[in-house]
Amino acid sequence: MGQLSSPATAPGPAVLERVRTLQRVGVLCGIAAGAWLGAAEVPTKLVTTGISPVLISFAMVAGVFLGRWSLPAMVRGTSGIRADIVEAPHLVIWAIIAGCLWSVANTLTIFAIRDLGLSVAFPLWNTNGLIGILWGVLFFGELHHAGWRRWGAVGGGAAIIFVGGMLLARASSSQIASHVAVRGIAAALGAGVLWGSMYIPYRKAYLSGMNPLSFVSFFTIGELGMMTALAVVYMGGFHNLYRQLSGAQDVLFWLLAAGFVWVIGDIFQQYAVKYIGVSRGIPISNSNQLWGLLWGAVAFGEFRGWQHGAVAGAIWGSVLMALGLAAISFSVVDNSEYLKWVEAAEREHRRYGIDIEFVRSGMEGRASTPPQRRTWLDWMLVAMATGAFVWTGTRAHWPSLALDGTAAIVLLALCLALLAACATALWKVTRFN
């Protein structure tokens, strides 16, 4: 049986240098993911304009579906996606489960935002990073043989995140009726557990050599399927869903756009998980908490009307959580821990009979097959997604929300700068593999 590398032997200098480069790219991807995932939550503020939370979630997932087929088709082509799935067909099951988890978690966050507000709900569901660390350690050999310093950084970071989350929960409960706060906190923490567990399929896929752009294409089938089922059940049938969608035509574009923006953040998050693991990639990308705080406080003025002590609590809570995340993020993987990742990849190779070259090249950010040409199907997917955005865009009206335009433009410019930097790095180092 071929092996990725012997567990008893350290990888060669060339492989180690490659791994270090990939880790730097992974950290950059995590930072860009944080910015874009944070920006994607902004349109969910529409929940305060009287639209059903389930309808908002459904429309966002429709935007996500458009993004998750059109972007991979444009960047890599559907032929490349097909080639990946032939190598590891069992991963379709995990992609669909992950998509279902995403939809339920996203719907829970809409309820949490409604009850708690964006700037408080955000850090609570970002406890998903802690859940992700737990699964990364238990199932994928992350932090094994990592040494007491790295464990200290991760354990200390986790403790700080917990304290920060508690501060934010206290700040929220002092401003909101207690029964609403309990429901909102339960929804936000529940979303955290679901999203944290969604990283099991992510990590499994990338240790198996799967390309992130292929994985998200099937992920979104579970996502749209689950969300459609939820929308039909909670809104009383297809007819009601259609009626409410028709009635929300003027804001549909913004919700589709939110889904699309989320896809950009999510794709970067997938690359971060691939190259630095769940236990580091998710905490870094959870810097979307800070972006959520910035959007909520600066662009939407959410803190207006709050008492001084509550605002201070929310700010200190967010700063503590960010410090905890930074401590976790900068505990880099050393050789012995990387060998544990290799062992976890070997488990997938043995259990599911995946081609060893596919697994190895995936872990090293190289293509296992030559680049595929774009086909008519790829361009058709891009054209359909563009058409959907243009059609809803012509019917869109600016929602009646108080928004600081200058602050919004500055935040958007920062997101675009990170997008450019990250896409360039990914192309140069991995050709999006």
Partner 1 sequence: MDNEEAIDRPETRAINWLASVSGDVHFWVPTLVLIGGLLLLRWVS
Residue 135 token pair:
């699964």
Categorise residue 143: left if φ over 0, alpha if ψ from -120 to 50, beta otherwise. left
The Cβ of residue 148 has, within 10 Å, a number of other Cβ atoms equal to 8
Angle separating helix axes 335-352 and 13-40, nearest 10 degrees: 80
Which residues in the 337-366 window bind partner 1 by CB under 8 A? 351-352
Angle separating helix axes 128-140 and 335-352, nearest 10 degrees: 70
Kindly state the smallest distance separating residue 306's Cβ from partner 1, in Å: 24
**Taking the alpha carbons of 395, 399, 405, 408 in that order, is the dihedral positive or negative?**
negative
Judged by CB under 8 A, does residue 111 bind partner 1? yes
| Binds partner 1 (CB under 8 A): choice among 59, 71, 81, 108 | 108
Mention every residue, 6+ apart, whose C-beta is less than 8 A from residue 84.
210, 211, 214, 215
Asked whether 264 and 67 are in contact (CB, 8 A), the reply is yes
Identify which of residues 27 and 278 has a Cβ nearer to partner 1 in the complex: 278
Residue 270 token pair:
């997938």
| Binds partner 1 (CB under 8 A): choice among 77, 190, 212, 277 | 190
Region near partner 1 per CB under 8 A, out of 198-206, 304-312, 333-341, 384-392: 198-206
Closest Cα to residue 64, out of 107, 122, 26? 107
Region near partner 1 per CB under 8 A, out of 21-29, 88-96, 323-331, 387-395: 88-96
From CA 345, how far away is CA 203, in angstroms rounded? 10
Closest Cα to residue 151, out of 339, 345, 333? 333
Region near partner 1 per CB under 8 A, out of 74-82, 149-157, 188-196, 293-301: 188-196
Kindly state the smallest distance separating residue 307's Cβ from partner 1, in Å: 27
Residue 260 token pair:
């699309």
From CA 286, how far away is CA 283, in angstroms rounded? 5
Kindly state the smallest distance separating residue 350's Cβ from partner 1, in Å: 10
From CA 226, how far away is CA 61, in angstroms rounded? 10
Kindly state the smallest distance separating residue 196's Cβ from partner 1, in Å: 8
Judged by CB under 8 A, does residue 200 bind partner 1? yes
Asked whether 426 and 211 are in contact (CB, 8 A), the reply is no
Which residues in the 146-175 window bind partner 1 by CB under 8 A? none
What's the full length of the chain, in residues? 433
From CA 340, how far away is CA 107, in angstroms rounded? 36
| Binds partner 1 (CB under 8 A): choice among 25, 28, 54, 264 | 54
Judged by CB under 8 A, does residue 93 bind partner 1? yes
Identify which of residues 106 and 329 has a Cβ nearer to partner 1 in the complex: 106
Kindly state the smallest distance separating residue 54's Cβ from partner 1, in Å: 8
| Binds partner 1 (CB under 8 A): choice among 62, 187, 359, 426 | 187
Judged by CB under 8 A, does residue 237 bind partner 1? no
| Binds partner 1 (CB under 8 A): choice among 183, 298, 366, 423 | 183
From CA 216, how far away is CA 98, in angstroms rounded? 9
Identify which of residues 11 and 192 has a Cβ nearer to partner 1 in the complex: 192
Kindly state the smallest distance separating residue 237's Cβ from partner 1, in Å: 16
Judged by CB under 8 A, does residue 107 bind partner 1? yes
Judged by CB under 8 A, does residue 105 bind partner 1? yes
| Binds partner 1 (CB under 8 A): choice among 74, 166, 193, 221 | 193
* Binding region for partner 1 (CB under 8 A): 53-54, 90, 93-94, 97-98, 100-101, 104-105, 107-108, 111, 135, 139, 183, 186-187, 190, 193-194, 197-198, 200-201, 204, 230, 234, 351-352
